[in-house]
A = this chain, B = another copy of it.
Amino acid sequence: MRFEVLILGNSSATPMFERHPTAQIINFNEQIFLIDCGEGTQMQLHRYGVKSNKISHIFISHLHGDHYLGLVGLLSSMNLHGRYSDLHLYGPAPLIDIINLQLKHSETYLQYNLIFHATNPEKEELIFQNNTICVTSFPLKHRVPTTGFRFDEAQRSASLIREKIQHLNMPTVFFQQLKKGIDCVDLDGTVYKASELTKPAPAPRSYAFCSDTRAFESYVSSIQNVDLLYHESTFMHDMLPRAIETFHSTCLEAALIAKQVGAKKLLLGHYSARYRELTPLLQEAKLEFVNTELSSEGKWYNV
């Protein structure tokens, strides 16, 4: 089952070196989610072949321009492209006022339902759930109210071992029971053992998005054991005073967070415009957390 992240933008406040402001696509089994929507996101979606009208949910971390200024353009273009399906939007409470003011003055009337859910910048909350995935928002530490987002795959049931099943004359009504781990007995008294006839589902996967934030103890509990952690790494550690001043993190700090929470892999991003060459950022993070990768625009990352 597909669970991947596409980086549409990995730049911090000032777009530079053809890097764009923050935006990411999550493709979870063809459910398409957008996280953040910096200026130019609709062009980036087009460039990387993502149909914007397939996006069902948008999650905005905070109201700094480089994380949401592409949103009104995207919502308007979805309208022009004939969207009718509901769109769920999650973000800081004032976001809907900003959108409504702009739609009003452009006299744009959305023909689809835009369903807004204000995020809570004070505490962790489950904000979306269906049978296959759930999304949690959690507070980050930034200059304005900011949340991260965690995507958790639901625990799937065990699967039948086809090679063993096909030789048995077992009633098919037993299949669902066995998948749930329940042994079955037929009218002849034959016992079918779940432990022998099924293999357990793979462990549920998880992805966490942390941008923008000071590396801080407060959100560590929200991102425990994620498979893939995107953590902002605006600066290298020699710029720590600047990171503290602007409520951002260094590459070293991102790596220490990844280590502390037991992440399987760390993805760096939100690079300052002062860095043309990013290899030193990667090298710094790897000092503390080897399984680190630089996020690159246009690239899909497996969760």
Contacting pair B69 A65 (CB below 8 A): no
Number of interface residues of A (CB under 8 A): 36
Residue A143 at the B interface, CB < 8 A?
yes
Closest to A94 in B: B105
**Residue from B80, B97, B105, B144 in contact with A63 in the complex, judged by beta carbons closer than 8 Å:** B105
Contacting pair A14 B80 (CB below 8 A): yes
Residues of chain A in range 242-292 having any CB-CB distance to chain B below 8 Å: none
Contacting pair A43 B40 (CB below 8 A): yes
Q: 1/0 per residue A61-90: CB within 8 Å of B?
A: 001111001101100110011000000000
Residues of chain A in range 87-134 having any CB-CB distance to chain B below 8 Å: 92, 94-95, 97-98, 101-102, 105-108
Contacting pair B15 A81 (CB below 8 A): no
Residue A234 at the B interface, CB < 8 A?
no
- How close is A243's CB to chain B, nearest CB, in angstroms? 16
Which B residues touch A14, using CB under 8 A?
Answer: 77, 80-81
Other than the given A64-B106, A98-B98, A98-B102, 10 more pairs (CB < 8 A) read A39-B42, A39-B69, A65-B76, A65-B108, A66-B73, A69-B70, A69-B72, A94-B105, A105-B144, A107-B144
Contacting pair A73 B69 (CB below 8 A): yes
The 4 closest A-B pairs by CB, nearest first: A63-B105, A39-B73, A40-B40, A94-B105
- Per the bound structure, the CA–CA distance linking A77 and B42 in Å amounts to 20
- How close is A6's CB to chain B, nearest CB, in angstroms? 19
**Residue from B13, B20, B42, B144 in contact with A15 in the complex, judged by beta carbons closer than 8 Å:** B42
Which B residues touch A143, using CB under 8 A?
Answer: 107
Which B residues touch A40, using CB under 8 A?
Answer: 39-40, 43
Residue A16 at the B interface, CB < 8 A?
yes
Q: Which of A16, A39, A108 has the most CB of B within 10 A?
A: A39
Contacting pair B98 A105 (CB below 8 A): yes
- Per the bound structure, the CA–CA distance linking A39 and B73 in Å amounts to 7
Residues of chain A in range 1-37 having any CB-CB distance to chain B below 8 Å: 13-16, 20-21
Contacting pair B98 A63 (CB below 8 A): no
Question: What are some 10 contacts across the A-B interface (CB < 8 A)?
Answer: A14-B80, A15-B43, A20-B43, A39-B39, A39-B73, A64-B106, A66-B73, A69-B70, A101-B101, A105-B144
Q: Which of A14, A64, A101, A105 has the most CB of B within 10 A?
A: A105
Residue A46 at the B interface, CB < 8 A?
yes
Closest to A95 in B: B105
- Per the bound structure, the CA–CA distance linking A72 and B97 in Å amounts to 16
Contacting pair A102 B65 (CB below 8 A): yes
- Per the bound structure, the CA–CA distance linking A80 and B70 in Å amounts to 19
Contacting pair A76 B106 (CB below 8 A): no
Contacting pair A46 B105 (CB below 8 A): no
**Residue from B13, B16, B80 in contact with A13 in the complex, judged by beta carbons closer than 8 Å:** B80
- Per the bound structure, the CA–CA distance linking A14 and B74 in Å amounts to 9
